[in-house]
Each structure stands twice: as C-alpha cells, then as structure tokens.
A and B are shown apart, each in its own frame.
Chain A
Amino acid sequence: MVKKYKGIMIEKKKEILTSLENLGAKIYGQMDNGFFPWIEMPSRSTENIYYDPQIRQFILGDKRVRRSARNIRHVKPFTQLVWTAYFSHELTSQRKTSTLRDVYYSAQAYEMKFKDQQESNSIITDLETVLGFSREDFNIFPEERSAVFGDLTIEYTVPGYEGKTLNLTSHPDGVMIGPALTSSELVKTTADKVIAIEKGGLFTRFIEENVHKRFNAILVLTAGQAPRATRQFIKRLNSELKLPVYIFTDGDPWGMHIATVIISGSANAAHLRELTTPDAKWGGVWATDIINYKLPTDPLEEVDIKRLHELQRDPRYKDPLWQREIKTFLRIKKKCELESFSRYGLAYVVNEYLPRRLSELKG
C-alpha cells in the first residue's frame, strides 16, 4: 500500500494555514483602508439547507450572510471569529491539538470572553463555514471519543510518533479514535469490511467473539451519535481501503438516525464535505427483525412516534428499505435494543444474526 495520506495531509495543512492567513490579510486590509471589516459566508439557517441527492448529503444553498464589525450586534462575534482564526493558526502551525472545551478556556487568556461553551462552539462553526474546512482540520476536536479494533496497521504522523506503526488489534478494548489516529496513514489491512456499532457492550462482545477474525472486519464503536472524527475515519476506511461499511444500532428511530448521519451527514454539518459515507448500509436492528426474531421489546413512546413521522418525510430516508422499516415500526409500535438478541444466548447475535444479515446485505 502506498503512503498517500501524509502527502495529502501536508498539502491540506498548507492550504488551511494559507486560508487562515488570507482571512487575516483581508480583514487587516479593510481596516488599514479605513473600513469596518466584514466577512461573508453561506447562511446556515434552516431555509438555506438543502439535500443534494447527487452527492447524497445536505448542502448549503446560495444564501449568504454578511458579518460587519460596524454593526454593534456583530462586532463581538466578529472579534471572536478573528480570534478563533488566529488561535487555529497557532494550533495548526505548531502542530498542537485542542478540544472545544480548551478553546473556550484559552479565549480567556486573550481577554476574549465567550458567554458559554455553546457560544464558542458556534463561532468555531462560523469559521468552518467561512473557510470551508472542518474544525478537526484546525486541530480542534470535540471531547467525545469513540474506538476502533481490527487488523489494520496505521502509521502515525503526529509529532514524536512519526513513522511509528500500530496494529489496531494490539489493545483488546480497541484504540481510541483521536487526533493521532485520524491523522495517521492507513498502511495495511486484511479486513474486507467495516462494522460500526452503536454501543460499547456489543463492541466488546464482538471482540470477545472474534468477529474481526471470523468476518474479516474492522470494528468501529460509534458510542452513540458518531463524532465527526469517527465519521471522517469511517469515510477514509471506505474510500481509501475500499471497504464496505455496515452499521448496527438499536432498533428505534434514534438508532436509525445514527446510521443515517454516518451515511448522509447531518444538517449541522451541511457546510462540510468528506464526512459522509453514502455507500454505508444500515444492518439493523430492523423493525422487521423484531418480528422475525421475536425479540423482546419496549413500546414506542410519544417522542419515538413523532420522530418516526419526521424521518418518514426526511429526504435521507427515501430509500425503500428505510420506508419499509419506518412503516413497520409505526405498525408494531415497538422498539428494541441491540442487546435484545441475548435472550437466545450471548453468542447468538454473532453466530446467527450477523452472518445472515451480512449475506443479505451483500446479495
């Protein structure tokens, strides 16, 4: 396998640094010429978010917003944005990483107060929108971490680990998907598929039951809604290593949506690309599984039903499989968890359900 990711990464870092510097230069120029600085970016308001069936994800429309330092209501967020750009430039050029929480606190060292974490997060999203890069590109990561396990050898590119390799079976709890992993080269694998799992319990069961060996799979724990770094990593596994991706979640509308965000992205990230894996498939638990396997269930609650009706109208769910499952959920008014297969014994899900489902999805 050729090490191509490092090259791409270096190019990309350069590109990111340049775009940050250009932003600074533009604002500097405006002020130097005696104008109040302003910037323009695509609007992220809901009226400007569209589903693009071509690239199978949400995108932002043509509507743009202008932020001007001349506006009393904009001057503070404008300053926060410029500071965030400056701070990201520092991080990226010094090859350091930071978390969203970190950014919130670091601001205080520059007498740049954010009202709360949410305000600083939304300014970071603004910067993503202005420049068209994701925060991970600026070395800013969220707190939440997920994990990966399987026969994949990676080579680090982070400072101090350059050239070191690691096989992702080396730790039985899995390896955390953090900045060091996502920036690594994917060197070598014997796996022929990726299985993403919503819950830690089942992830551990899969490792114990040797699913990675028996099914030649790389196992990814999404730990609920998959973080962006995880979505990006899954996408790399799919596009760089050409591995098909199967997603297993709880059998309810929220589980379905975990799968959908990996496949088609979220409205929140409509300003970003490279986070979606359009060919990934939702493996279950399906509503029809509840019937066919006679799984123990809970009744659907008010919110579940409301959510199902929303999903029914969502363009990301227009595929016949989705529509069939939504209708079935609404009909049986039941939901179940991934663990519910345990009623047939701890290994049943791996011995019976998984092979059957994988072959179904292949065929």
Chain B
Amino acid sequence: MAQTFEEISAADFFYRNRDIAGFTNPSRAIFAAVRELVENALDAAESLRMPPDVYIRLLFEGEAGKEAQIYRLRVEDNGIGVPPRHIPSAFAQVFFGSKYKLKQARGTFGLGGKMAILYGQITTHQPVSIVSSTGRARIYMYRLMIDIQRNRPLILDRKVLINKEGWRGTVVEFSLEGNYLRAMPKILEYFKQTALVNPYANLTFVDPKGRLYKFTRVTEKMPDLPEETLPHPYGVDVELLQRLIQVTPYRNMFEFIKNSFHRVGETTAHKFLEFSNIRPSKNPKKLSHEEIVRLMHMLKQYEEFLPPNAGCLSPLGEELLKVGIMKELKPEFVAVCQRRPATYAGHPFITEVAIAYGGEVPKKGDFIVCRFANRIPLLYDEASDVSVRVIKSMNWRRYKVTPDMPIAIFVHICSTKIPYKTVGKEFIADRPEVKKEILNGIREVARKLRRFLTRREHVDRERKRMGIFSKYLPKIARFSTELAGEEKPPDIRKLIRSVKKFGEEV
C-alpha cells in the first residue's frame, strides 16, 4: 500500500477502490454514508464529554436510474466542532483527520466520512456543504469539493456568521446516489442498535418519506474517555514504523525506541537494542527500508516487552450496556459481563457481552445476535463473525435455552485495532484470543440466564401447584358436604396453607 500512495493520490486510490470501504452498491452506499457520518457525529460529541444530540435527515431529490435515486443527506451534531482552518482538509482531503492517533475511536484513519463525501461527489457532482463552530464567536460555512487527482480540497464558497446563540457543533450536508428502500431495514436496525450502545445519545432520523424515528437518551452517564497511547511494539507494521520515524523528533535509536512505544522505558529500550543488535546512537531517519523491516521483526520477536494496558480503551461498561438493552428491548431479564482487558498481537481489547430474554426481544426461531465494535453496530456478514461462530458452537441446552426462545445476545469488542477480517469492517476474524474472551463472556451471562430461567420455572411450578390445590380442594369439600348431608363445609384453609410446605414432593 505504501508504494501505491507514491504513485496515485489517496483520494484517487479510494475512488478506484470504493468497494472495500463499503460503497459497493446504491443500497450499501447509502447505509455506509449514514453510518460513517453518524459515528463521526457521536465521536465529536463524546470527545467533549457531551451527551450527543444527532439529527439525521434524508431527502429524496430525484431518480438516478433503475436501482438508484439521488438523496440529500444531512447530519447535525452538538460536538466539538472543527477549527475553521481545518475544515477544508477535514472534509475534503483523504487521510487528514483528528483520529490519526492511537486510541479507541469509532472510525479509524478518518476515512469513512470523507469516503461518503467523495462517493457523493462522484455520483452527483455536487459539492458538500459544511457548517461548523467550536462554540466561539463565529460560525463557518463552506462549500467544498475534492480535487480527486491531487487529493486537495477545493473551496467553492466560504461564509462567516456571528454565533449569537453560542451554537457548537457541525452540520454536514451533501447529495449522493443510493437506494433507500432497499437499505431501509438495515438503516433502521443500525439506529436501533446504535441507540442501544449509546443510551446517553439522542438520535433523530427523518427518512425520505418524512417518517420520524426518535431514539431518546435515558441517561446522561457516558463511558470514560480513552487515553491516547503510543503503539505497542508487538502491534506495529512496516507502514506504521515508517510513519513513526517520519514524525519523530529524536535523532538516535535509543531515544526513538524509548519515546515511541507503549510501555517501553529506558531499561527495556536498552535491552531491546542489545537484543536486536542495533546501535543506540544510530539515526532512525537514516534506516533503509530493509532495516525497517528487520526492526519490525525484532520488535515482534523480543519477548520481554510488557503487555499493553487498557487505559486507551473505552468500553461501554456493564451498567450502560444494561441500560441500553433495557431501553431498546425492555427484556424480562438481562445479564451483562465485561471481561478483563486482554491483548492480541500487541493490541489491547476488552470484550463486553450481554444476554437478554423476553420482553420485546422477538422470537425468530434462532437467537438474535447484535455485534458491536468500538460501539459501532455491525450489521452485515453475520454468519462469518467470530461471535456467531462461538454462539453456534456452544451447547445451549446446558443453559436451559432453546433457539425458539426470545433471546438476544450482544457482543461488544473494543480495541485500538479491531481485528476485522475485511476492509469493509463488517465482521471480526477468528482470533483465538478474541474468541476465548467472547466464549467466556457468553458462558458467564448464559449461566446467569440459566439461574433466572430455573428460578422462574420453579416459581411457575409452585404457582401452578398452588392453583391446582386451591381450585380443587374447595370442590372436594363442597361435594363431600352435600353427599354426607352435612350443614357446613369442612375448614380447608389449613390444608391449602400446608400445601406450600410440601415443596417439590408429589
């Protein structure tokens, strides 16, 4: 990939390869555009610790062929806003973004939003309009296009308004080709699941038919912000190493190693350089390509790096996950479990798992599986996902569970690098470390579900038993009184009371 970049611009590259970013066809494209912009909007608010208010509107603009229409997409947020001088690059230059650091965030590489804008431009030849303010005195309005060949923003129009009301946030609006009718089920499911993992967000969606979908926050509580961290030595690749070397201010290997990696201090840096036989005084900027490749291999081979810690992760937390599930599905029972941080290939990750039973969980003849990665719902390619494989491999009878029960299982993985199997970012690969965490998490919540089902079964049986006795004993009393020619029926309250004592005995 690094070599490709030298030949064509990044924008051009993604223009030619838009399939891999999820813009495969009109219905996938409109779904992906909505999703990318909503995730950016949520991130923008969360980075300020503000409960997000996101408004999404899709307008029908006209037909664009047999299977596609033109829509106008508008997404508003109450987030941090973009500083005016960054607006053109942030929205019209690929590979420019605020997320280009190592911490957990919804998007990575700041690609998705721009990909959507780029897709809109190439399908409709319309500019994107951006309104943003960081909450200070002014509001900035831009109309932009992307110069695809040069990967540069073209500013068509720029206005500055006085921000009398102290508004803060960003509005993105542009036209794109899509097929809403086809994408509708996925888009609505996306909103429902997004509302579920963001119970502190208000989401308002107006669809092309003018229908309003509103998902209201039920809590102001938000998960802790992730800390930024340096990359862990086990997790680097050649491309990342090259970039680190480019940006480092240090001029010798010792300082470079010590200051560029997570959990590497003086001692470790010394030991590592000794182990890999690299001169500490060597200038990292002068490493040849072959030396960089070797450095990467040595970093992976050295066994004494400390494992990464999870401060850079922002899991939802058991409480919020539970609140979100209760809000969207109102189940009779829910159990949640957050696993301790784990790592795969140098990347820390945390798995959160939940199981919900009854309420508005639909009965579909199979479990409902909701997958999330860094709080993004994953809606496509379910069958290939590691969670689904884990769920299918389990013996559910052990948990008194059958597929015809109304059961939903939630798996949330957060990581600085989600092990997606494809660039489309729709399903998670079978990493043994990840698989193990998911399995153990599901087992734990399944055990809790079993306890709930067992207790309920017991209560049901007891209630039924009592029902039978209190139905029939009075009748026996009545008919035997009549048969015996007695005046008043025998007192059976004592008998009915005593039935409880017998418990399970029959």
B304 within 8 A of A: no
A329 within 8 A of B: no
CB-CB < 8 A to B485: which residues of A?
21, 24-25
For the complex, count residues of A whose C-beta is within 8 A of B. Answer: 30
A89 within 8 A of B: yes
Contact B491 A72 (CB under 8 A): no
Contact A21 B475 (CB under 8 A): no
Contact A82 B484 (CB under 8 A): no
Query: Can you list 7 A-B pairs with a CB-CB distance of less than 8 A?
Result: A25-B480, A31-B476, A34-B494, A34-B495, A75-B476, A78-B472, A79-B476
Contact B469 A72 (CB under 8 A): yes
> Which chain B residue lies CB-closest to A77?
B472
* Bound Cα distance A37, B489 (Å): 14
* Bound Cα distance A24, B469 (Å): 19
Contact B472 A75 (CB under 8 A): yes
Contact A71 B495 (CB under 8 A): no
CB-CB < 8 A to A34: which residues of B?
494-495
> Which chain A residue lies CB-closest to B491?
A32
What is the distance, in angstroms, from B334's C-beta to the closest C-beta of chain A? 33
Contact A20 B483 (CB under 8 A): yes
Contact A69 B476 (CB under 8 A): yes
Contact B475 A73 (CB under 8 A): no
What is the distance, in angstroms, from A347's C-beta to the closest C-beta of chain B? 57
Evaluate whether A31 and B490 lie within 8 angstroms (CB atoms) in the complex, with A21-B485, A24-B479 already known. Answer: yes
What is the distance, in angstroms, from B222's C-beta to the closest C-beta of chain A? 53
A207 within 8 A of B: no
Q: Out of B468, B480, B492, B495, name the residue touching A82 (CB < 8 Å).
A: B480
CB-CB < 8 A to A78: which residues of B?
472, 476
B394 within 8 A of A: no
What is the distance, in angstroms, from A29's C-beta to the closest C-beta of chain B? 8
Q: Mark B127-151, 1 if CB is under 8 A from A, else 0.
A: 0000000000000000000000000
CB-CB < 8 A to A25: which residues of B?
480, 483-486
Q: Mark A97-141, 1 if CB is under 8 A from B, else 0.
A: 000000000000011100000000000000000000000000000
Evaluate whether A24 and B480 lie within 8 angstroms (CB atoms) in the complex, with A72-B468, A72-B469, A79-B475 already known. Answer: yes
Contact B484 A21 (CB under 8 A): yes
B residues 453-506 near A (Cβ < 8 Å) are: 465, 468-469, 472-473, 475-477, 479-486, 490-492, 494-495, 502, 506
> Which chain A residue lies CB-closest to B475?
A79
A63 within 8 A of B: no
CB-CB < 8 A to B477: which residues of A?
28, 31
> Which chain B residue lies CB-closest to A78?
B476
Evaluate whether A28 and B490 lie within 8 angstroms (CB atoms) in the complex, with A37-B480, A82-B480 already known. Answer: yes
Main secondary structure of the interface of A (DSSP, over half): helix
Q: Mark A34-73, 1 if CB is under 8 A from B, else 0.
A: 1011000000000000000000000000000000011111
> Which chain B residue lies CB-closest to A32?
B490
Contact B479 A72 (CB under 8 A): no
* Bound Cα distance A28, B492 (Å): 11
CB-CB < 8 A to A21: which residues of B?
483-485
Contact A27 B480 (CB under 8 A): yes
A215 within 8 A of B: no
Contact A86 B482 (CB under 8 A): yes
* Bound Cα distance A79, B482 (Å): 14
What is the distance, in angstroms, from B85's C-beta to the closest C-beta of chain A? 80
What is the distance, in angstroms, from A83's C-beta to the closest C-beta of chain B? 5
> Which chain B residue lies CB-closest to A37?
B476
Evaluate whether A36 and B506 lie within 8 angstroms (CB atoms) in the complex, with A31-B490, A86-B482 already known. Answer: no
Apart from A24-B483, A82-B480, what are 11 other A-B pairs with CB-CB below 8 Å? A24-B480, A24-B481, A25-B483, A27-B484, A29-B484, A36-B495, A75-B473, A78-B476, A82-B475, A83-B479, A86-B483
Q: Out of A24, A36, A75, A76, name the residue touching B484 (CB < 8 Å).
A: A24
* Bound Cα distance A24, B485 (Å): 8
> Which chain A residue lies CB-closest to B492?
A31
What is the distance, in angstroms, from A337's C-beta to the closest C-beta of chain B? 48
CB-CB < 8 A to B472: which residues of A?
69, 75-76, 78-79
Contact A112 B480 (CB under 8 A): no
A243 within 8 A of B: no
A85 within 8 A of B: yes
Contact A71 B490 (CB under 8 A): no
Q: Out of A27, A29, A72, A111, name the residue touching B476 (CB < 8 Å).
A: A27
> Which chain A residue lies CB-closest to B494?
A34
Contact A73 B506 (CB under 8 A): yes
A350 within 8 A of B: no
* Bound Cα distance A27, B495 (Å): 14
Q: Out of B465, B468, B483, B495, name the residue touching A31 (CB < 8 Å).
A: B495
CB-CB < 8 A to A28: which residues of B?
477, 480-481, 483-484, 486, 490
What is the distance, in angstroms, from B472's C-beta to the closest C-beta of chain A? 4
What is the distance, in angstroms, from A18's C-beta to the closest C-beta of chain B? 11
Contact B473 A85 (CB under 8 A): no
A23 within 8 A of B: yes
